[in-house]
Structure 1
Amino acid sequence: MTRILVCVQPARGHAGPTKPLVEALVGSGYEVTAVTGARYRETFERLGATVALLPPEADFDETDLDGSIPGRAGKRGLELARFELANFVRAMPHQLSVIDARDADVVLCDPLMMAGLALVRRDRRPRVLTLGFVPFMPPVPTGPPGRFRGVVLKTLAPWVLGPAQKLADDLLGGDAGMRFTDWPLHSDGVLQMTCPGFEYPRPGAPLHFIGPTTVSAASEHPLPPWWADLDGGRPVVHVTQGTIANDELGRLVEPTIDALAEEDVLVVATTCGGRLRPGPLPENVRVAEFLPYDELLPRCAAVVSNGGYGGVNHALRHGVPLVVVGASEDKREVAARVAWSGAGIGRARASASPRKLRRAVRAVLADPRYRDRARELAAEMAAGPTMDEVIELITAPCHSLS
């Protein structure tokens, strides 16, 4: 029997899209072990997988990143990105201590688990596939905007990536043999959880577009008492800052509420663990901590997001156009893809004013090109491989999908 190791960082945006794959693999009779943090032990055990916990040095609590990751508190912007990249690499030997203790035929590896970098360098190793729930890096689009971004990336890359690269080289004996962020290029395939129309063309990259896999149903997030208001006739605009960069809802959720307070729309906000400022809400606003996306998104006319890759692709799966404003983690890249794909308006900014958000939402609602393009991407996703075909790809080395 094929033994499969699924290595995933203990974060909702990583575990969520991985769960359906694990459930399908277990249901198909494969022996599955999930390597993850303590917070997600029960999540994967409920699916029938064995769980091997990361040691404390490689684990963290996504609800308290500053408290669970020494040295993170107080850092912002590029300084924070620089720290986090080095911290991902620093966890490599601790991740490997768990992975190497188990025999596996196939390893499905989180792209931010740097154990993947060590694995793909080995002559004798299991088949390694990358879980593609972040933007595929590092392609830069052509044309003037692409050239500008390329210059910026080239200028900043040595400072941002340098400490992590040196650490990777040191941990791997003096020379990693590749840029540490490029290890998915050397894997046996990337299960990219989107469609070709939402990723920059990358000839020769080992990409298999499998579409978004996350399931968000009412069984996981019960419907709130005001749910029937969504069928009241007003266009529904959903706004969220996701589950990581939501410590300050004043960056996007609150400005969007202010922007649309006088508009003829129903604003549905999710806080995802964050807290709104005290005080009354406008009449046209409804709030919940979490909502079932598979129930909510088909009712939406637009989504305002800070650019979580999974949430954006979930919206596109339902043909919903977007306004994306985000700059943390990988969100600059997601905002750029939203604009490049034509499925909405993307801004690589940490926040936006109510005036600019109002203008962007009005544009997305009024211009049919955004919804038409979002629906085209939804059709691409629907035409992608079935879960059975994805499982065949994972378990049959000779099989390939385009």
Structure 2
Amino acid sequence: MSSVLVCVQPARGHVGPTKPIVAALLAAGHEVAVITGARYRQAFAELGAEVTVLPPEADFDETDLDGSIPGRAGLRGLKLGRFELANFVRAMPAQLSVVDQHLARGVDIVLCDPLFMAGMALVLREHRPRVLALGFLPFTAPTLFQPPPDGLADRARNALLGRFVPWMLGPAQELATRQVRELLGTETSVLFMDWPMHSDGVLQMTCPRFEYPRSTELPAPLHFIGPTTVSQASEHPLPPWWDELDGSRPVVYVTQGTVANDDLGRLVEPTIAALADEDVLVVVTTCGGSLRTGPLPSNVRVADFLPYDELLPRCAVMVSNGGYGGVNHALRYGVPLVAVGASEDKREVVARVAWSGVGVGHARRSASPRTLRRAVRTVLADPRYRDRAEEMAAEIATGPTMDEVLKLITSS
């Protein structure tokens, strides 16, 4: 049996896909310790893992980011993006101090969130345990990888990205380089977003067809293990209107994810307005957010949370803000998508939705009812989107089982 240390940021979209792996490791008899934020201490403790909470300077509350992260309030757009990248890197020393306490007791394997920046320092050490990155974010290494250009527009986009990316990542990269120097006494040219490529492997939680092809061999092994998140009725009870999802009319599910729901006017409310007169059943999860609309159209049903593993097999389309986990959960069940998002990693996810042919993607923070109506109609009317999503589902179904994932983790 192995001693496994799991390092995960305190965010639902990171914790959700990590918990099933932790549970499977424990069930197989491995010793598992987890480092995460205070908000998720109980979630892992209930599984039977030893849990260490991050120190305050490295912890945050995803339901109150402005209140729990000093200096964040008031920032918008690119300034907010640059700040958040640097803030992830800033936590490296505090995270590493907790990691080292566990390593001193003996650890065989570290499973690390790609945004848990102690991972960068860890993989650059000469002597370290086996380190695997948890791939619940779009696979972008080397930063930022794009599909081969197809025409002048793509070449112009790549040229623009070539200038934009160094500017966007600059402050965080300077901080990462300095902290590695101070913590390890060494210089590095490794990009902070690319540290998983210096690990012993990446457990990417999707299927190969949802990631761009690469013509060159990657420095670290890339293992496509499919989505791991589990969301069942035992966790989220079914609402009284559940029997209406009987297939008598297409179900369009809309969500802004579990974090970006402070303003449901970005996607949820425009989708409700867009589909008010359509012959579909619109199912909405607010995930803690609040609708500002007046009386809802007669074809709309609302819940705070719903069990994805029960809901998605009944859906004709999922309208998503581009969360990687939610999108891949939909693909597990062959559900085509309308994806609208531009914050965090969502622009990358939206691009993959369009590129892979599983849906319509708009890389923007919000969309109008007219745009959303057209997109949903397009996906419902064109069987190629459903066919492509079902191809993804078949590929996910033939991917590694959880037992095989455990062998990937514990085999040196």
On whether the aligned pair clears a TM of 0.5, the verdict is yes
1:237 touches 1:304 (CA, 8 Å); kept in 2? yes
Structure 2 CA distance for aligned equivalents of residues 155 and 270 of structure 1: 38
Structure 1 CA distance for aligned equivalents of residues 247 and 227 of structure 2: 29
Q: Which has the larger displacement, 121-130 or 224-233?
A: 224-233
Counterpart residue number, 1:112: 115
Counterpart residue number, 2:49: 49
Q: Note the 1:1-400 alignment, pairs <5 A.
A: 1-102=1-102, 103-137=106-140, 138-142=144-148, 143-144=150-151, 146-173=154-181, 175-202=187-214, 203-205=216-218, 206-231=221-246, 233-397=248-412
1:147 CA displacement: 2.6
AA of the residue aligned to 2:211: E
1:245 touches 1:328 (CA, 8 Å); kept in 2? no
Structure 1 CA distance for aligned equivalents of residues 367 and 156 of structure 2: 22
1:88 touches 1:113 (CA, 8 Å); kept in 2? yes
Measured against aligned partners, the alpha-carbon deviations of 1:209-245 in whole angstroms (never above 9, x if no partner) come to 0000000000100001111111160100000000122
AA of the residue aligned to 1:164: A
1:201 CA displacement: 1.4
Structure 1 CA distance for aligned equivalents of residues 401 and 368 of structure 2: 41
Structure 2 CA distance for aligned equivalents of residues 8 and 17 of structure 1: 10
SS of the aligned residue for 1:231 comes to coil
AA of the residue aligned to 2:83: F
Measured against aligned partners, the alpha-carbon deviations of 1:85-122 in whole angstroms (never above 9, x if no partner) come to 00000000010011000131100000001111101101
Structure 1 CA distance for aligned equivalents of residues 179 and 245 of structure 2: 53
Q: What TM-score does the superposition give when structure 2 sets the normalisation length?
A: 0.95
Structure 1 CA distance for aligned equivalents of residues 72 and 262 of structure 2: 14
1:2 touches 1:106 (CA, 8 Å); kept in 2? yes
AA of the residue aligned to 2:301: R
Counterpart residue number, 1:400: none
Measured against aligned partners, the alpha-carbon deviations of 1:158-180 in whole angstroms (never above 9, x if no partner) come to 22111101111111117333111
Measured against aligned partners, the alpha-carbon deviations of 1:32-75 in whole angstroms (never above 9, x if no partner) come to 00100010001001111100111000000010011000011111
Structure 1 CA distance for aligned equivalents of residues 227 and 382 of structure 2: 26
- Equivalences, count: 397
SS of the aligned residue for 1:234 comes to coil
SS of the aligned residue for 2:5 comes to strand
2:269 touches 2:293 (CA, 8 Å); kept in 1? no
2:252 touches 2:280 (CA, 8 Å); kept in 1? yes
Structure 2 CA distance for aligned equivalents of residues 2 and 153 of structure 1: 42
Measured against aligned partners, the alpha-carbon deviations of 1:166-203 in whole angstroms (never above 9, x if no partner) come to 11111111733311111011111000000000001134
AA of the residue aligned to 2:126: D
AA of the residue aligned to 1:200: Y
AA of the residue aligned to 2:204: Q
SS of the aligned residue for 1:119 comes to helix
SS of the aligned residue for 1:84 comes to helix
1:140 touches 1:146 (CA, 8 Å); kept in 2? no
Structure 2 CA distance for aligned equivalents of residues 300 and 176 of structure 1: 48
Q: Which has the larger displacement, 309-318 or 229-238?
A: 229-238
1:236 touches 1:265 (CA, 8 Å); kept in 2? yes
Structure 2 CA distance for aligned equivalents of residues 4 and 323 of structure 1: 38
Structure 2 CA distance for aligned equivalents of residues 300 and 35 of structure 1: 36
1:140 touches 1:149 (CA, 8 Å); kept in 2? no
Structure 2 CA distance for aligned equivalents of residues 53 and 333 of structure 1: 30
1:29 CA displacement: 0.3
Structure 2 CA distance for aligned equivalents of residues 56 and 305 of structure 1: 32
Q: What TM-score does the superposition give when structure 1 sets the normalisation length?
A: 0.97
* Structure 2, unpaired ranges of 5+: none
Measured against aligned partners, the alpha-carbon deviations of 1:335-362 in whole angstroms (never above 9, x if no partner) come to 0000110000111111111001000000
Structure 2 CA distance for aligned equivalents of residues 139 and 158 of structure 1: 13
* Structure 1, unpaired ranges of 5+: 398-402
Structure 2 CA distance for aligned equivalents of residues 344 and 322 of structure 1: 4
SS of the aligned residue for 1:123 comes to coil
AA of the residue aligned to 2:111: L
Two-structure CA RMSD over aligned residues (Å): 1.0
1:278 CA displacement: 4.4
